[in-house]
Amino acid sequence: MKRSGRLVLVSNRGPYRLSLTRGGVKAERTVGGLVTSLLPLMEKTGGIWIAWGDPAGRYALPVRHPRFELRHLPLTSEEVRLFYLGFSNNALWPLCHYFLGRVRYDRAEWEMYEQVNQRFAQAVLEEAGDEDAIWVHDYHLARVPLFLRRQRPKARILFFWHIPFPAVDVFRTLPWRRPILEGLLACDLLGFHIPEYARNFIETVEELLGARADGETVHYAGRATRVLARPIGIDFAAVDRVARSRRTEQRVQKLRETLGPGALIVGVERLDYTKGIIERLRGVEHLLDHEPEWRGRFSLIQIVTPSRLDVEAYRQKKREIDEIVGRINGRFSDGLWIPIRYLHRAFPSSELVAYYRTADIALVTPLRDGLNLVAKEYVAARIHEDGVLILSEFAGVAYQLPEALITNPYSAEEMAAALKQALQMPKPEQRRRMKAMRDRLRAEDIWWWAAEFLEGFER
């Protein structure tokens, strides 16, 4: 990739949880879409990644074959409470995912958001030279571009917003809508996953700031910002390679033997109310209830990775999931067959690939999702070009993968119908759909995505 300087990447969530050991540093991968895509990118391009984390300092990573530097910025427990759990995850997260009923706006949290964004900007100013491209990521850091711009009017700043950007009438409920929008417009190139989010953003700045849009360029306060929609990719070749490995093959055999002859459905998500896990389970229950002939013929492996458990809404969601899984299994298990196997912990990515390869069907049915990379990883792992992907119409990735079965997760009836269609889909139809999805995701991978932004930006 052609760049004149280094890449300085900035995000709240970093790629690793680090702990100091006697022999050096132990690094454990973190979860979430952002890290899944950006880690392979940084491993290839090198540069410096600035992110929240302990202990403070600079680390050469990955530990065995260092390719980039990670600068950890520790946050105090008060900063975590007000900035991360508070304004980021109790205001911006539910707001942008259209969960207005869950939104809480609090001035102290907003003020801490400002302060922590200033700290991130300060760290960038310490690291970035004039020739470097500074790439800020996600809703936690919307003010960073403006803080940078004030200090360095000529800095080259990109921003990518990883979650949905809602319609103007939703966004306008935010009391600090103006500073958030002005923060974003201080960058040169602003990315969203899909055209709908870019359109929403442009409409919002036109209406709320009086900005002027000319195609994909927004003019505001004497500056121009280009707004681009490109769905983030995964390292398709790497997932495909792991899926073909001998180790995965052996693991798939083992899983098949253990799980028995019925169809296997897989669901993998962070524990989050946006992911629609309860609604999906209701869809499964609906099918078992109304069409008893399906009992005993499939099972769902539901993997839920713990996330943000310091936010009450997330703890509450965990209790609800425990309860509904217990109810469905209690109602329908027959001693030998269990409809839902529920695993509440994080799995290494190679183990997830084994599940994707084993599963005849993947259920990716969020109530709202910026994009969703589980869907992409499932497709990349289907090396025999079969299998069925069921997608929510409210996941950004549905825009990129129209060959999936698209469903409305709010309707248990529609979910049950999609499941039934998937369970009965003939192999040739599975192949036709899966091949089209694989071809697209192989072409629109993480390198394509990064080039669209970094090279487009150089021009």
Q: Which residues bind ligand F6P (CB under 6 A)?
A: 13, 32-34, 138, 162-163, 307-308
Give 32 or 62: the residue with its C-beta nearer to ligand F6P: 32
Phi, psi of 7 (to 5 degrees): -95, 125
CB of 324 to ligand F6P, least distance (A): 23
Residue with tokens 């008060």: 78
Handedness of CA 373, 311, 394, 299 (dihedral sign): positive
Which SS3 state, helix, strand or coil, does residue 404 take? coil
Give 54 or 455: the residue with its C-beta nearer to ligand F6P: 54
Closest residue (Cβ) to ligand F6P?
32
Sequence-ordered alpha helix ranges (H) in 128-245: 144-151, 168-171, 177-184, 195-209, 236-244
Long-range contacts of 119-122 (CB under 8 A, 24+ apart): 119/73, 120/10, 120/50, 120/73, 120/144, 121/147, 121/148, 121/151, 122/147
The CB density around residue 336, as the number of other CB atoms within 10 Å, is 7
- What are the beta bridge partners of residue 312? none
CB of 62 to ligand F6P, least distance (A): 19
Give 156 or 308: the residue with its C-beta nearer to ligand F6P: 308
CB of 373 to ligand F6P, least distance (A): 8
Give 232 or 434: the residue with its C-beta nearer to ligand F6P: 232
CB of 408 to ligand F6P, least distance (A): 22
Question: Which stretches does DSSP call E strand in 230-334?
Answer: 263-270, 298-305
* Token representation of residue 413: 């009836």
CB of 397 to ligand F6P, least distance (A): 12
Give 149 or 368: the residue with its C-beta nearer to ligand F6P: 368
**435 close to 428: Cβ distance less than 8 angstroms:** no
d(CA 329, CA 393): 28
Is residue 72 within a helix (H) or strand (E), and if so which, with residue range? strand 68-73
Catalytic residues: 162, 369
**124 close to 134: Cβ distance less than 8 angstroms:** yes
Q: In what order do the strands lie in the sheet with 212-214?
A: 57-61, 68-73, 48-52, 7-11, 133-137, 156-160, 189-192, 223-229, 217-220, 212-214
The CB density around residue 122, as the number of other CB atoms within 10 Å, is 15
